[in-house]
């Protein structure tokens, strides 16, 4: 192992939460306005800003903000139930179904012919910074494709179970793996069971992600857990119409403000680091109903939710649909962008501050993984130019693909999309 993880007993934190008010504004997308099916199981955004919805029964739909383009088994999908979507750094979409995997190169849907993946039930797909595609399956273990060769990991290799749900790249060449029975670490081909002492033993781990402070979050069949690198904490929250810790957490996502969003069997929860907010069918204008399996923050800052009744989006960017304290006017804090863009091998990120204040500038991948911290200091007012050399925290060059510059200054959170090409 490249890192040693010390684990202590679970600390239970019970928090009383507020419910979202009826004034929260949402937009609803369903079969009534163009989606090929109502149940949305996966949502992704490609490098061109097109949103992709994986539906249960209607195939996959590409949405450009005005209309849908739909791909089904007639176009080459193995099945019309699309439950995982990820884009690699070559711009190829990987689509997971209960009957295998397909790719889409912008023109053609092609079934992946890897023999063990044919008819495999796909749980999730993740692309790491090296452009390796990781495919988690129900019953056949974990697959990895580096663009040339396939690798397979099963119970014979140390997996707790061949029913794998999620994979999260740590960034140092190791990976967290969640599945039936707990959580594991894959490092240099060696799988280590890290479940003991975490409180996750025997649980199904559906989702793994990292928040802005570097804490890892795990969505399980009995609520969310967080790991700060030393200790594990089970989070509990209660609202008038929902109880978080009794629910299965299918997906976890971090928005542009750093808030953690969780999709559960009965609703959606948001945690801003201090307060919990519950969204259910009784507390919002539109249905935040059962089996919320997909959550995404797009490049504009909108939060998207996929559930049994279609897809929802927040109307205001970066707000998560809830009222927030007033922020400085846009002309006061400006993330101008980067030049050149696309770039190779380096680019300069420019921004303007209205007054002296603590400022953080990070680079994130499309999957939400922190790649590099460029600034974490008190900066004076005025214009600033920060060079990024296209390398991660370990001074290793990143792969071609889309990255985000994330500027934090006081209550302001700004994001900018950058493209690295080799």
Does 308 share its domain with 376? no
Q: Is residue 323 part of a domain?
A: no
Say if residue 215 is in the same domain as residue 345.
no
Q: Is the confidence at residue 400, as pLDDT, over 70?
A: yes
In percent, the amount of the chain with pLDDT more than 90 equals 55
Quote the CA–CA distance of 149 and 130 in Å, as a whole number: 14
Look up residue 373 and give its two tokens. 């911290």
- In-domain check, residue 5: no
| Pair (104, 211) in one structural domain | yes
Given this model, what pLDDT does residue 221 score?
96
| Residue 381 shares a structural domain with residue 289 | no
> Which tens digits make up the pLDDT trace of 292-310?
999 998 877 888 999 999 9
Residue 357 β-bridge partners: 379
Q: Dump pLDDT digits (tens) for 347-363.
A: 999 999 988 888 899 99
- What is the model's pLDDT at position 286? 64
Q: Nearest-CA neighbor of 250 among 197, 211, 307?
A: 307
Q: Is residue 321 part of a domain?
A: no
Three-state SS string across 227-284, please?
Answer: ECCCCEEEEEEEECCEEHHHCCEEEEEECCCCCEEEEECCCEEEECCCCEEEECCCCC
Structural domains of the chain, count? 2
Given 314, 348, 382, the domain boundary residue is 314
Confidence at residue 197, expressed as pLDDT on a 0 to 100 scale = 87
* 389, pLDDT greater than 90: yes
Chain-wide mean pLDDT for the chain? 86
Strand 142-145 and strand 268-271: the pairing is unpaired
Residue 244 lies in a domain: yes
Share of the chain above pLDDT 70, in %: 87
Those residues with Cβ within 8 angstroms of residue 200's Cβ, 6 or more apart along the chain or in another chain: 182, 183, 218, 220, 225, 232
CB 180 within 8 A of CB 165: yes
**Is there a domain that residue 3 lies in?**
no
Length of the chain: 422
Contact call for residues 308 and 39 (beta carbons, < 8 A): yes
Nearest to 259 by CA among 278, 276, 272: 272
- Please state the rounded mean pLDDT for residues 373-382: 90
What pLDDT, on the 0 to 100 scale, is given for residue 324?
34
Q: Could you tell me if 68 and 129 lie in one domain? A: yes
Question: 239: domain range?
Answer: 12-314
CATH number at residue 348: 2.60.40.4070
Residues 122, 68, single domain; the answer is yes
Same domain, 171 and 245: yes
327 domain residue, yes or no = no
Give yes or no for residue 284 having a pLDDT over 90.
no
Considering the domain architecture, whether residues 20 and 49 belong to the same structural domain is answered as yes
Per-residue model confidence (pLDDT) at position 22: 37
User: Residue 33's domain is classified under what CATH number?
Assistant: 2.130.10.10
Query: How much is the average pLDDT of 128-148?
Result: 94
- Same domain, yes or no: 58 and 140: yes
The DSSP call for residue 119 is T
- CA angle, residues 259, 261, 263, in degrees to nearest 5: 175
Within-domain flag for 192? yes
Lowest mean pLDDT among 8-12, 287-291, 345-349: 8-12
| The CA-based dihedral angle spanning residues 237, 256, 56, 312, taken in that order and rounded to the nearest 10 degrees | 80
Which of 270, 285, 314 is the last residue before a domain boundary?
314
Asked if residue 248 lies in contact with residue 220, where contact means CB atoms within 8 angstroms, the answer is yes
Q: Are residues 176 and 307 in the same domain?
A: yes
Q: Are residues 306 and 354 in the same domain?
A: no
Domain boundary pick from 279, 314, 349 = 314
**Do 164 and 88 share a structural domain?**
yes
Q: Please tell me whether residue 339 adopts helix, strand or coil conformation.
A: strand
**Residue 319 counted as domain residue:** no
Kindly report which listed range (49-58, 82-91, 359-368, 394-403) carries the lowest average pLDDT score. 359-368
């Amino acid at each position: 192992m490249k890192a040693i993880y010390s684990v202590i007993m679970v600390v239970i934190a019970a928090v009383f939460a507020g419910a979202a008010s009826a004034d929260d504004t949402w937009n609803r997308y369903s079969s009534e306005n163009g989606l090929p099916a109502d149940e949305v199981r996966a949502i992704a955004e490609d490098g061109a800003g097109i949103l992709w919805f994986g539906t249960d029964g209607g195939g996959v739909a590409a949405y450009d903000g005005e209309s849908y383009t739909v791909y089904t088994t007639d176009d080459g999908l193995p099945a019309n139930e699309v439950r995982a979507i990820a884009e690699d750094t070559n711009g190829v979409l990987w689509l997971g179904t209960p009957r295998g995997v397909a790719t889409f190169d912008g023109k053609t849907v092609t079934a992946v012919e890897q023999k063990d993946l044919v008819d495999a039930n796909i749980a999730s797909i993740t692309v790491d910074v090296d452009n390796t595609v990781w495919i988690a399956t129900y019953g056949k273990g974990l697959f990895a494709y580096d663009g040339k060769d396939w690798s397979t990991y099963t119970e014979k290799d140390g997996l707790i179970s061949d029913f794998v749900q999620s994979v999260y790249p740590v960034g140092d060449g190791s990976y967290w793996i969640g599945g039936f029975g707990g959580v594991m670490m894959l490092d240099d081909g060696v799988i280590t069971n890290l479940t003991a002492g975490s409180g996750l033993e025997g649980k199904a781990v559906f989702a793994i992600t990292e928040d802005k402070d570097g804490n890892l979050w795990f969505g399980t069949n009995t609520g969310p857990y967080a790991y700060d690198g030393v200790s594990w904490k089970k989070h509990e929250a209660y609202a008038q119409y929902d109880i978080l810790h009794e629910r299965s957490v299918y997906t976890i996502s971090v928005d542009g403000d750093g808030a953690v969003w969780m999709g559960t069997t009965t609703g959606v929860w948001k945690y801003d680091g201090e307060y919990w907010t519950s969204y259910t069918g009784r507390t919002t204008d539109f249905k935040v109903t059962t089996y919320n399996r997909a959550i995404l923050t797009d490049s504009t800052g909108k939060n998207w939710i996929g559930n049994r009744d279609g897809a929802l989006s927040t109307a205001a960017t970066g707000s998560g649909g809830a009222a927030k304290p007033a922020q400085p006017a846009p002309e006061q804090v400006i993330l101008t962008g980067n030049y050149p863009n696309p770039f190779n091998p380096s680019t300069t990120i420019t921004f303007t501050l209205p007054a002296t204040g603590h400022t953080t500038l990070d680079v994130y991948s499309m999957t939400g993984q922190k790649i590099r911290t460029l600034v974490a200091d008190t900066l004076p007012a005025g214009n600033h130019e920060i060079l990024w050399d296209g390398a991660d925290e370990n001074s290793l060059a990143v792969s071609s693909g889309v990255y985000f510059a994330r500027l934090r200054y006081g209550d302001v959170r700004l994001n900018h999309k950058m493209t690295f090409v080799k």
